């Protein structure tokens, strides 16, 4: 299976090439029906072979969202509910979950409310529960450090999905344990509270604790490399552990070294389209878009996508990446494809849709 990205007009597509029958039942059902929770699919023929085009416009991969900030409990619940809804929809159309792609960089989300969108690839035969186990392990590592309840929930879900007899019903029971509410709408005969929670009211801003330890070390999660078994212990107080880490670092110092502080060069984007906007790039990666809480600088223009572009610093210099923007990114005369990364040089003209800047 080959995966690429392509821009056509104001739409971005995830393009999948795989040997399969275009006229098969599952291919026709996936293309001709708008199935809730699946990325819209169009099948085209290239060189006598079927090529699948998935519309990912304005959506972001889970892996990228987790890079922006860590996941919290309400978002984890929203993801699992969305996945359960997708499986229920597949059953209605007699489609198999083995054709779903569950890798973090191929699971797409709405940046505003974490609604999930999956790739259904006819002809792809995966092990759904094995891939879901890998996804849950990824989510466990992507949880916010200070959301203790969320981490415990992610850990319980990860342990459950590893069991041979695990089902989606088991995961939903864990998801709503102790709430005293029915989670299956068909059993209640009416819309339940968990179903109403599918749309979140707000997305909290991530808070991170200082320190150099990894998430698993910080939470006391240990994995035996031979038995592949997880265990979890929470320290009684977060602050004590941080102070202990700082004390250990002090004790390891044998010499006192006087360091001279040097100022890092400050990069900026200066508007060249009349609005006199100046953006100071104080750190990297630096995200640009119009979704407050997800980007480092908010551009309040209708033509700008919620997550539009990312500027990175490399050993060679700087780069800019198009983040599936609707109206595109241009460096000089070069128009970027969806997810494409190109070099950004000093003095280059950078256009985010119709907003032009000089990179200095």
Q: For residue 352, what is the domain's CATH number?
A: 2.60.200.20
Report which DSSP code applies to 99. G
Q: Please give the Cα distance from 297 to 310 (Å, whole number).
A: 11
Q: Minimal CA–CA distance to 56: which of 107, 97, 18?
A: 107
The pLDDT of residue 179 is: 54
Question: Do 127 and 225 fall into the same domain?
Answer: no
Helix, coil or strand: residue 101: strand
From 15, 36, 55, the end of a domain falls on: 55
Report helix, strand or coil for 337: coil
Share of the chain above pLDDT 90, in %: 57
332, two tokens: 């000089």
At 178 the pLDDT is 53
Q: Which domain holds residue 271?
A: 267-359
| Statement to judge: residues 183 and 219 lie in one domain | no
Among 17, 38, 55, give the residue marking a domain's end: 55
What CA–CA distances, in Å, run from 355 to 50, 258, 307, 343? 37, 45, 14, 19
What's the distance, Cα to Cα, between the start and end of the chain in Å?
A: 41
Say what the pLDDT of residue 247 is. 54
Burial of 322 (0-12, 13-18, 19+ CB in 10 A): buried
- CATH at residue 125: 1.10.510
Residues 69 and 191 in one domain: yes
> Are 68 and 101 in a shared domain?
yes
Predicted TM-score (pTM) above 0.85: no
Whole-angstrom Cα distance, residue 109 to residue 207?
Answer: 21
| C-alpha torsion angle, residues 188, 191, 193, 196 (rounded to 10) | 160
Buried (b) or exposed (e) across 237-270, using 16+ Cβ within 10 A? ebeebbeebeeeeeeeeeeeeeeeeeeeeebebe
- Run of H or E including 310: strand 309-313
Do 280 and 309 lie in a common domain?
yes
Q: 86 and 12, same structural domain?
A: no
- Inter-axis angle of helices 148-161 and 168-175, nearest 10: 160
Q: 258 lies in a domain? A: no
- Of the candidates 155, 88, 340, 360, the one whose C-alpha atom is nearest the C-alpha of residue 350 is 360
Minimal CA–CA distance to 242: which of 145, 119, 133, 124?
Answer: 145
β-bridge mates for residue 278, sequence order: 270
Half-sphere exposure of 262 (CA within 13 A, CB side): 3
| Residue-level pLDDT at 145 | 81
How many Cα atoms occupy the beta-carbon half-sphere of 349 within 13 Å? Answer: 12
> What is the structure's pLDDT at 112?
82
Residues 306 and 328 occupy one common structural domain: yes
Residue ranges of the chain whose pLDDT lies below 70: 21-22, 178-265
> How many independent structural domains does the chain possess?
4
Residues 46 and 120 in one domain: no
The burial of 184, by beta-carbon neighbours within 10 Å (0-12 exposed, 13-18 middle, 19 or more buried), is given as middle
Half-sphere exposure of 74 (CA within 13 A, CB side): 12
Greatest CA separation for the chain: 72
Structure tokens at 41: 């699919």
Chain centroid, CA 327 distance in Å: 21
For 220, half-sphere exposure in the C-beta direction (CA atoms, 13 angstrom radius) is 11
**Is residue 76 situated within a structural domain?**
yes
**Alpha-carbon span 54 to 14, nearest angstrom:** 5
Q: Is residue 94 part of a domain?
A: yes
């Amino acid at each position: 299976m080959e995966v690429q990205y392509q821009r056509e007009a104001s739409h971005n597509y995830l393009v999948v090439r795989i040997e399969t029958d275009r006229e098969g039942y599952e291919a026709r059902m996936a293309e001709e029906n708008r199935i809730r929770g699946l990325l819209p699919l169009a099948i085209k023929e290239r060189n006598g072979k079927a090529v699948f085009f998935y519309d990912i416009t304005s959506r972001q991969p889970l892996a990228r969202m987790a890079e922006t900030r860590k996941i919290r409990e309400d978002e984890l619940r929203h993801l699992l509910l969305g996945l359960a809804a997708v499986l229920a929809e597949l059953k209605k159309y007699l489609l198999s979950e083995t054709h779903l792609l569950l890798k973090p960089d191929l699971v797409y989300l709405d940046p505003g409310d974490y609604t999930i969108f999956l790739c259904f690839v006819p002809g792809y035969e995966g092990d759904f529960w094995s891939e879901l186990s890998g996804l849950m392990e990824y989510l466990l590592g992507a949880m916010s450090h200070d959301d203790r309840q969320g981490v415990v929930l992610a850990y319980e879900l990860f342990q459950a999905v590893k069991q041979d007899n695990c089902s989606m019903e088991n995961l939903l029971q864990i998801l709503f344990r102790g709430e005293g509410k029915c989670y299956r709408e068909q059993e209640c005969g009416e819309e339940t509270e968990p179903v109403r929670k599918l749309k979140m009211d707000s997305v909290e801003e991530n808070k991170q604790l200082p320190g150099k330890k990894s998430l698993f070390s910080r939470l006391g999660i240990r994995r035996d490399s031979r038995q592949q078994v997880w265990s979890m212990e929470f320290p009684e107080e977060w602050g004590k552990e941080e102070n202990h880490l700082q004390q250990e670092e002090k004790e390891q110092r044998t010499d006192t070294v006087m360091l001279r502080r040097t100022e890092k060069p400050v990069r900026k984007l200066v508007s060249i389209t009349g609005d006199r906007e100046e953006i100071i790039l104080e750190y990297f990666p630096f995200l640009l878009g119009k979704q407050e809480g997800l980007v480092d600088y908010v551009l309040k223009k209708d033509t700008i996508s919620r997550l539009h572009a990312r500027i990175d610093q490399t050993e060679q210099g700087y780069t800019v990446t198009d983040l599936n923007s609707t109206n595109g990114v241009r460096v000089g005369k070069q128009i970027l494809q969806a997810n494409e990364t190109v070099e950004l040089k000093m003095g280059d003209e950078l256009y985010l849709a119709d907003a032009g800047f000089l990179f200095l």
